[in-house]
Amino acid sequence: MTIDKLLAPGGQPITTSQSPEPLPESVAAPMSTMRVLLLGATGTIGMATARALVRRGHEVVCLLRPRQGVRDLQADALWSERLSGTKLLWGNAAEAEVWQQAGLANTHFDAVVSCMASRTGSPRDAWRVDHQAHVWALQAAQAMGVRHFVQLSAICVQKPLLAFQHAKLAFEKALVESGLTYSIVRPTAFFKSLSGQLDRVKKGKPFLIFGDGQLTACKPISDDDLADFLAGCLDDTARHNRILPIGGPGPAITPLAQGEHLFALLAMPPRFKRVPVGLLDVIIGVLSTVGKLIPAAADKAELARIGRYYATESMLVWDPAANHYDAEATPSHGSETLLDAYARWVKGEGAPDRGEHAVF
């Protein structure tokens, strides 16, 4: 047994029966079509992953959470169109009995791919979705004869400080210990998380940065590039039984550089507003105190902690020995850079839907 120290430092090491080093050569097995259960298919990466799996010829079944009693034809039609080429099943994965329904119990799947995650990031929801719902999915997978479980996680779990990170790590551990072949994919920042300032900058407002805008860096990955990487885990044996940090192409980029590039594309003089990180500490302190009496304030305090985390921690591989984030050690996949996407969005082409509840 070895401990994968590089990828799971701090608090919750992942025990694996696989040797983490050296990385094997990428070996794409001859592409065989599989019957795949996809979780989280209505989310940003889930939708892209459904397309990637269908493109590769897999038979894809998506388990979707019913919308406020909407189990009607309208919802079916909407999602049948968005998830075209897949079969839809309805049920909330965070309710144990859903896993007993026909279509899941006593059915065979070759693989589960999960892009499911808490939409709110509140500690309760994170433990319910990022951990408990996944534990039920894992138990069901074992009963359904699944051989391979591909889990979308997040690179930030390597330095866990937040409830959702601990919930994700607890499930990663359960998956590694389950005996199933696993691929745990820990991506860096998504494009949608770095698109929020486009509108305010277009309206002539300054680009907001924490500190000098160089406290952090990331290697953003597009939805389709990440989806391609997730779908590719099924065929590429080099991605089996591994924890896989992954970023997009090109060098790491700081918030300051993102803003400068956006202003250049808009042919506007750069204007930045510097926000001190200490302001977030004050907000966290106040909300945490109020949160002892009012649960809604406690959830807001956790959101502020999430904000502080992303304002101060890079989305790159953490090197615990050197005590710093390492852009060079963060693998790249795909072809589209954030700067390519900015150029498209500035022209009005396909700006991302950040979603009502998108917090990460």
Tokens standing for 323?
């005590």
CB of residue 221 to ligand NAP, shortest distance in Å: 8
CB of residue 165 to ligand NAP, shortest distance in Å: 9
Residue 14 CA to chain centroid, in angstroms? 19
In the bound state with ligand NAP, the residue whose beta carbon lies nearer, of 259 and 352, is 352
According to the binding rule CB under 6 A, does residue 44 interact with ligand NAP? yes
Using CB under 6 A, which residues numbered 326 to 355 contact ligand NAP? 355
Stretch that binds ligand NAP, among 80-88, 188-196, 199-207, 276-284 (CB under 6 A): 188-196
Site for ligand NAP (CB under 6 A): which residue of 51, 65, 239, 308?
A: 65
Nearest residue to ligand NAP, scored by beta-carbon proximity? 43
CB of residue 180 to ligand NAP, shortest distance in Å: 19
Using CB under 6 A, which residues numbered 97 to 136 contact ligand NAP? 115-119, 129, 133
In the bound state with ligand NAP, the residue whose beta carbon lies nearer, of 27 and 70, is 70
Site for ligand NAP (CB under 6 A): which residue of 40, 245, 334, 352?
A: 40
CB of residue 56 to ligand NAP, shortest distance in Å: 19
Using CB under 6 A, which residues numbered 136 to 165 contact ligand NAP? 152, 154
In the bound state with ligand NAP, the residue whose beta carbon lies nearer, of 114 and 181, is 114
Q: What is the SS3 string spanning the chain?
A: CEECCCCCCCCCCCEECCCCCCCCCCCECCCCCCEEEEECCCCHHHHHHHHHHHHCCCEEEEEECCECCECCHHHHHHHHHHCCCCEEEECCCCCHHHHHCECCECCCCCEEEECCCCCCCCHHHHHHHHHHHHHHHHHHHHHCCCCEEEEECCHHHHCCCCHHHHHHHHHHHHHHHCCCEEEEEEECCEHHHHCCCHHHHHCCCCEEEECCCCCCCECCECHHHHHHHHHHCCCEHHHCCEEEEEECCCCCECHHHHHHHHHHHCCCCCCEEEECHHHHHHHHHHHHHHHCCCHHHHHHHHHHHHHHHHHHCCECEEECCCCEEECCCCCECCCCCHHHHHHHHHCCCCCCCCCCCCCC
Stretch that binds ligand NAP, among 81-89, 92-100, 204-212, 247-255 (CB under 6 A): 92-100
At 42, the amino acid letter reads T
At residue 84, φ and ψ (nearest 5 deg) are -60, 140
At 294, the amino acid letter reads I
Nearest residue to 266 (alpha-carbon basis) of 354, 205, 347: 347
Site for ligand NAP (CB under 6 A): which residue of 140, 150, 189, 316?
A: 189
Q: Report whether 271 contacts 207 (CB < 8 A).
A: yes
In the bound state with ligand NAP, the residue whose beta carbon lies nearer, of 158 and 193, is 193
CB of residue 226 to ligand NAP, shortest distance in Å: 8
Stretch that binds ligand NAP, among 36-44, 252-260, 271-279, 329-337 (CB under 6 A): 36-44
Stretch that binds ligand NAP, among 4-12, 104-112, 186-194, 326-334 (CB under 6 A): 186-194
According to the binding rule CB under 6 A, does residue 45 interact with ligand NAP? yes
Site for ligand NAP (CB under 6 A): which residue of 12, 80, 92, 197?
A: 92
According to the binding rule CB under 6 A, does residue 325 interact with ligand NAP? no
Contact positions vs ligand NAP (CB under 6 A): 40-46, 65, 92-94, 115-119, 129, 133, 152, 154, 187, 189-190, 193, 355, 358, 360
